[in-house]
Structure 1
Amino acid sequence: MDLQFRVFAHISKPVAEVFEAVADPDQLSHYFTTGGARGRLETGATVTWDFHDFPGAFPVQVIEVVPNERIVLEWKANDDSGAPYNTRVTMSFEATDDGRTLVAIEEGGWRETDAGLKSAFGNCMGWSQMLCALKVWVEHGLNLREGMYR
């Protein structure tokens, strides 16, 4: 069994605006990384993300960025059952015929252990929340996660 998932949402804004809301650390810090994001998502960069529910900034390796199409990241799996390892996150951005953007997020690479399964489910919840928060931020300028974890 390959532990992976895919979540998606339609955002009622053009793809360039939605992509920028993810790639730009200032915007990302307003609706997703509740403790802040440092560094723009660009191919080859290592940025840091911090969340109030998982305190302490941690590194995110940016594997590939294709503007307005795809962002590929790797980060340490939240699985302490053995040697550390990374999972891979792929975000895709697709313009739809009605002017909206379809954003899909896939993550995979967990070990087939109870801890790996628990981590995968936790991240699936987190990415689903990210898509909801992204939608509300880009469409209405509101921070859905404000005060959620404090």
Structure 2
Amino acid sequence: MEIKFRVAGRIAKPVAEVFEAVADPKKLSNYFTTGGAQGRIEEGATLTWDFHDFPGAFPVEVIEVVPNEKIVLEWGAHEGDSGEIGAKGVETDYRTTVTMLFKPTDDGRTLVEIVEEGWRETPGGLRGSYMNCEGWTGMLCALKMWIEHGINLREGFYK
């Protein structure tokens, strides 16, 4: 069984604005990377993302970028832990791939789809995928609130 998930949501802004809210580290830090993001999402770049809920910067490799359409990232897989809130998970020696797709809708909104795959087919890999599925769902909710309403949904949520 391949361990992989997909989350999606519609954002009431044009594709270019939504894409830029993810690609620009200053904008991303306003609603998602609560500890800050370093480096713009550009093909071949190595970024760092830091989160208050998982302290310690994560290196993020940018594999592919198609402006206003697609971002492909890789980062170290973290396998699940005991399920404690805020636990970072167990570091591993392999990586997962995150693909973000940005698609315009007929009514002027943007459909954002995020797929993450590549976990080992183990109980820890399955738990790790659940943790990241939760994280990417939260990211989409936070993006929607910030870009549409100027509200940082994650502010004070974890710290």
TM-score interval (norm. to shorter): over 0.9
**2:78–2:90: 8 Å Cα contact kept in structure 1?**
no
Residues 13 and 148 in structure 2, CA contact (< 8 A), matched pair in contact too:
yes
How much has 1:53 moved relative to structure 2? 1.0
The 1-side partners of 2:11 and 2:131 are apart by 23
Separation in structure 2 between the aligned mates of residue 76 and residue 106 of structure 1, nearest angstrom: 15
2:35 counterpart letter in structure 1: G
Q: 1:142: how far off?
A: 1.0
- Separation in structure 1 between the aligned mates of residue 150 and residue 40 of structure 2, nearest angstrom: 20
Cα deviations by residue, 1:15-50 (Å, 9 ceiling, x for unpaired):
000000000000100100010000000000000000
What amino acid is aligned across from residue 105 of structure 1 in structure 2? I
Q: Structure 1 runs of 4+ off > 6 angstroms?
A: none
- Code of the aligned partner of 1:145: R
Aligned-pair CA distance for 1:83:
5.1
State which of 119, 130, 144 in structure 2 corresponds to 1:121: 130
- Specify which of 104, 114, 137 is matched with residue 105 of structure 1: 114
Unaligned runs of 5+ in 2: 80-88
Per the TM alignment, residue 141 of structure 1 is displaced from its structure 2 partner at its CA by 1.1
| Structure 1 residues without counterparts, runs of 5 or longer | none
Letter aligned with residue 22 of structure 1: V
Q: Which deviates more, 75-84 or 44-53?
A: 75-84
Q: For residues 1-150 of structure 1, what are the structure 2 equivalents within 5 Å?
A: 1-79=1-79, 84-150=93-159
How far apart are the structure 2 equivalents of 1:113 and 1:10? 32
Equivalent-residue separation in structure 2 for 1:20 and 1:130 (angstroms): 15
* Paired residue secondary structure (1:118): helix
Indicate conservation of the 8 Å contact 2:42/2:62, yes or no: yes
In structure 2, relative to structure 1, the CA distance for the partners of 1:30 and 1:83 (3 Å cut) is closer
Q: Deviations over 1:2-22 (max 9, x none)?
A: 000000000000000000000
| Paired residues, number | 150
Indicate the percent of aligned positions where both proteins have the same amino acid.
69
Q: CA deviation at 1:82?
A: 8.4
Q: Distance in 1 between matches of 2:94 and 2:54?
A: 18
Instruction: Say if 2:78 and 2:92, in contact at 8 Å, map to a contact too.
Output: no
